[in-house]
Structures are given as C-alpha cells and as structure tokens.
Amino acid sequence: MRATLIYGAGDVRVEEVPDPKIQRPTDAVVRVVRSCICGSDLWPYGSRPPTEQGDRIGHEFLGVVEDVGAEVSGLKTGDLVVAPFVYSDNTCDFCREGLQTSCRHGGFWATDGVDGGQGEAVRVPHAQGTLVKLPVGEDSALLPSLLTLSDVFCTGHHCAVTAGVTPRTTVTVVGDGAVGLSAVLSAKRLGAERIILMGRHKVRTDLGRDFGATDIVAERGEEGVARVRELTGGDGTHTVLECVGTLPAFEMALGVVRAGGTISRVGAPQYDQAPLGFDVFMNNITVTGGVAPARAYIEELLPDVLEGKIEPGRVFDRTVSVDEVPDGYRAMAAREALKVLVQP
C-alpha cells in the first residue's frame, strides 16, 4: 500500500510500504477513507534533521474496519470509524478520568512501530478503546467534519473547555489557523457571546466570523494586546485560547488575559521557558490546556456534527490524493492552504 513518510525538513515522500496486519489480539486494521495534514506536522516539516530512513507521519484519520483481533469487541469489518490522534485502551485510570493522552497503554501514531495516518491503511492498537463508530456511510458529505473529531476540532474544544469558557466569559482566540478557528467554533458552541479572534489572514478570519468571532484583531505583539485591551475596556478577556504554540503567541496571551482569567494552550509549545513571574502571580492568571484527549470528547461532539449544528470540516480548503500529500505539505507550509484533506 501507499503511505507518507518524512525524511527531513521539507522532505515528505509517498512510498510503498507493507500492508498492515493484526499483530496483537487487541488490534484492528482500518482502510483509510479520509486523513489530513495537521499544523503540528509542519513543525518536523520545517525543522527535522535529514535521516536515511523515513518515518511514517500523520495522526488524523477515519476509515473502514477491515480486520479485528480476537479480543476486540464492539467493532466489525465494514464499520466506519474515526480514530483520535492518540490511541488508548480507554479503560485505565487516566482514560476513565478523560485524559486518554496519558493512557497507561496508549501512544502516538507513527511512533514506536505504529503506523501513521497519512496512508491507505493503518494498524490500530487498542482498537476497541481507540476507535469510535460513525453512523454514516463512507460516501457521507459529513466526512470532513467527522474527521475533525480526530484532532483539530477536539483540540479547539479542549482549549475552550479547559479555559473554562461559558456564556459569561469573554474570549480571545490567538491564532487563525485550523485549531484557532476550531477554538472559535468551540467557544461559540459553549455559549460565549464575545469572541475576539487575533489573526491577520482575511480568508481565515472571515471563516472565524462565520464560526462565531465577534471581533477580529489583525495586529500582533504589543499593538495586538493594546487593541484587545481597547475592545475590553482595558481589562482583557476572561479566557484566552492560545492556538499557536510560539513564545510570542503565549506572551500575547498574557497581555490580553483579564485578572483572574485563564490562558489555555493547545498549540504544542515551541519554547521551554515562559514568563510566569510576578505579574502573572499578582493577577491570579491560570495557565492550562495541553495535548487534547480527543477520545474523551468524540461522543459528546458527534451529535452536533451529525445534526449539522456545527460544520467544523469547513477548515479544510483543499483536498489531495495520497500521492499528492507532499504538495499538500508544501501548500500548508506556504499558507496557500488552511488545512489539507487527504482522500486516498
């Protein structure tokens, strides 16, 4: 079968790899119907040192079950399923607490001999705990939105939930990428009435308005902070959803958060140290968030997608075949595409 491998910065290739097979009785094999490229894939695409052997890549997919191991129940050949971007047994104490990203038996796609999602098929460890059945056919028009439950929409939702967004909280979203826009949609879904989106790409911020943003702030850095302060009577917002992951984005979040407020980070931080000193302390700022346990949220979000109440799949603005995945990376890195859907 065909699958995507990364060999280094800017070097993504699609190659023939062995077809996946059941290795453990808890595995399933899933034929991929849709996958996609994540903003976080752009970090290795931007900076990974070159290697002789490539590594599989991709962690978002939905597809059809082709085979299940002897210990997998509740799933059968032919089921359409979505996979969260971390696999997990969904039974350990962390999973029961809704933190499947810390599952005692879980792990990440495309590491430690586990397949990546950007290919034609995937062996799924702990399939029973990991996969969630989708009550639609593989020709459903809802597939793009359903695919966002794998990562990007659940990540935006995690950001809004951990930040404590409610109808009473004002919100700033830092970043107009697919995660930032998902965070806007999530905040709106949780009832927020004032959502300030910080971003400067008009096509994206226009989608942000459709998703629920009430104000757009194109300025960045100190100017961006000043503008948000101006929009909020000098106070900043109760919650800040930091959806970028760079230090300037976090510093901007600190600049726009209201005293007593919360910053949630869901962009993987590209820094080790960050400001956490006297001002943060005196203003009782909370910093929360982290890698999103998508598995914890899928059942809750699924009905809204199925009923068409929300259309998180609108973040996809380009579709490629598996063989075109390298061009999809190029387009996302060049900001020609917001988020690229892969249709094998």
Residues that bind a second copy (CB under 8 A): 94, 97, 99, 101-102, 162, 250, 259-260, 265, 268-269, 271-278, 280-291, 293
Between 19 and 93, name the residue whose CB sits nearer to a second copy: 93
CB of 256 to a second copy, least distance (A): 16
CB of 260 to a second copy, least distance (A): 4
Written as six digits, the tokens of 22 are: 């059941």
Between 166 and 286, name the residue whose CB sits nearer to a second copy: 286
Closest listed residue to residue 177, CA positions, set 16, 11, 316, 9: 316
Q: Are 56 and 36 in contact (CB under 8 A)?
A: no
CB of 19 to a second copy, least distance (A): 31
The DSSP letter of residue 246 is: S
The amino acid that residue 202 corresponds to is: K
CB of 230 to a second copy, least distance (A): 18
How many Å apart are CA 239 and CA 252, to the nearest integer? 13
Closest listed residue to residue 85, CA positions, set 134, 135, 35: 35
CB of 238 to a second copy, least distance (A): 9
Between 79 and 242, name the residue whose CB sits nearer to a second copy: 242
Closest listed residue to residue 297, CA positions, set 166, 167, 155: 155
Closest listed residue to residue 127, CA positions, set 44, 26, 225, 37: 26
Between 92 and 142, name the residue whose CB sits nearer to a second copy: 92
The amino acid that residue 31 corresponds to is: R
Written as six digits, the tokens of 273 are: 């140290």
CB of 121 to a second copy, least distance (A): 27
Between 105 and 330, name the residue whose CB sits nearer to a second copy: 105
Between 53 and 273, name the residue whose CB sits nearer to a second copy: 273
Cα dist from 128 to 78, 83, 106, 146, 241, whole Å? 15, 11, 12, 19, 32
Closest listed residue to residue 138, CA positions, set 63, 214, 230: 63
